[in-house]
């Protein structure tokens, strides 16, 4: 099973005042809860200049051999 923490950062606005986002993917060693995922993103937000927009936890697993 693979767990991926996906964080979307608001990095600014374009000329038409539309938001510009940057996505960051972090592979996790174990499954994380929603609360842990949000805490990780909030800790990272303290050390970067972007604002936190969204946090996702994506879990994938292989269902069989092909």
Which tens digits make up the pLDDT trace of 6-59? 999 999 999 999 999 999 999 998 888 899 999 999 999 999 999 999 999 999
Q: Is residue 36 part of a domain?
A: yes
Determine the structural domain holding residue 39 and report its residue range: 2-60
Q: Is residue 17 part of a domain?
A: yes
CA atoms of 60 and 66, how far apart (whole Å): 16
Residues in contact with 63: Cβ distance below 8 Å, sequence separation at least 6, in sequence order:
none
CA atoms of 64 and 32, how far apart (whole Å): 24
Q: Is residue 41 part of a domain?
A: yes
* Location of structure tokens 């960051």: 24
Domain count, the chain: 1
What is the reported pTM? 0.83
The per-residue pLDDT for 38 is: 94
The per-residue pLDDT for 21 is: 97
Comparing C-alpha atoms, which of 5, 9, 6 is closest to residue 52?
9
Q: Is residue 65 part of a domain?
A: no
């Amino acid at each position: 099973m693979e767990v991926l923490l996906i964080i979307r950062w608001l990095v600014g606005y374009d000329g038409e005042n539309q938001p510009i986002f940057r996505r960051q993917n972090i592979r996790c060693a174990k499954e994380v809860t929603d609360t842990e995922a949000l805490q990780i993103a909030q800790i990272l937000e303290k050390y970067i200049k972007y604002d936190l927009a969204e946090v996702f936890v994506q879990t994938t697993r292989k269902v069989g051999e092909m």
